[in-house]
Amino acid sequence: MNLTQPALLGALAFAALSANPQTAAAIDCPKHKGIYTDTLGSMHTLTFESDEKGTLNLEHGKTKLRYRVAVTFSNGFATEYLSIGKTDKIAASNTPVASSAVLRMNSDFSPYRGGNEAPYLVIPDLPKGLYYDDQVRGLSDYVDMIPGHAWQLSSCRK
């Protein structure tokens, strides 16, 4: 069986959701105003503040970490990327803490083609990038601070 990368990532995200099923209620939210939660059942949130930036909050128990997010697009196929840094400047620089392509997905993990926020985001390289961040690795509960690959739209920023 030869799976393409988006299909494989969709399958992995679906497996994560199957392990912790959540309802995917339809939320009508304008693009870049979404608040996403990690599908692993943690308190991690990803909030978009504009079409160019956002905030990633990682939370487990009393431990809380906050990262800045820069949203960029590549030339050519216009792939969307998130760069994660401790400040706006680091997130937008060439040396972010983590960087990953973003796949916007429907509830069935088919590619999302709508104009509003997608029901799910798959951010495949985010866990790996945060795993190697000194701020996370220095914590005794660092494994719980690493988010999964899939994020569900949970609400909309006003």
The label of the residue with tokens 């590549």 reads 74
- ∠ Cα 48 26 14 (to 5°): 80
Domain boundaries, the chain: 5-16+32-156
pLDDT in 10s for each residue of the chain, 158 residues: 444 554 444 544 554 444 444 444 578 899 889 999 999 888 899 999 988 899 999 999 888 999 999 998 888 778 899 999 987 676 667 678 899 999 999 999 999 998 899 999 999 999 999 999 888 888 888 888 999 999 999 999 88
- Other CB atoms within 10 Å distance of the CB of residue 151: 28
One-letter amino acid at 78 equals A
